Amino acid sequence: MELFESKVRDSFGRQAFMTTLGAEIDCIAPGKVEIRMPFNPDHTQQDGFVHAGVISSIMDSACGYAAYSLAPEGCNVLTVEFKVSLLAPAMGKKFAARAEVKRHGKTLTVCAADAFAINGDREKLIATMLGTIITLPAPAPSPAV
């Protein structure tokens, strides 16, 4: 496993909320991440669809890790902001969020993500995100190290 993949999987494994959602990283490439998540009735809104905030959460994590996959060693990333448009009710057995870096900079990275509801072989686009991620330089090593 390459460094960019192992560091993304390592950090993702520490996102307790992704575990709570049952979300998993499906594939990683430099600047691209896909996250998958099963339907869970505990994550629905009043009509029984998955809550917009849950779909936004897997899109946000996918964007953050797409940016992180390109970040220099030792750097951290944080979401600055995102905008999400909800295109169809989040109704399905599984969901996927696919993020891609649109512009990678030393400080700021802009990512786009699409979310899909998956039922058998069919995928339906249900949401799209545009967000900004900041790369924070690694803390200077402490004198004791």
Using the rule CB under 8 A, which residue among 84, 99, 117, 118 binds a second copy? Answer: 84
125 φ, ψ (degrees, to nearest 5): -70, 120
Q: Which is nearer to a second copy, 32 or 102 (CB)?
A: 102
Give Cα 26 distance to the centre of its chain: 11
Centre a 10 Å sphere on the Cβ of residue 6 and count the other Cβ atoms it contains. Answer: 11
| 80 lies in the site for a second copy, by CB under 8 A | yes
95 φ, ψ (degrees, to nearest 5): -135, 145
Residue whose entry in the numeric block shows the structure tokens 């686009």: 125
| 75 lies in the site for a second copy, by CB under 8 A | no
Q: How far apart are CA 50 and CA 54, in angstroms?
A: 7
Q: Find the shortest distance in angstroms from Cβ 33 to a second copy.
A: 14
> Which residues are 102's β-sheet partners?
none
| 138 lies in the site for a second copy, by CB under 8 A | no
Q: Which is nearer to a second copy, 81 or 143 (CB)?
A: 81
Binding site for a second copy (CB under 8 A): 11-12, 14-17, 19-20, 41-47, 50-54, 56-58, 60-61, 76, 78-88, 102-103, 107-108, 110, 112, 125, 128, 130, 132, 134
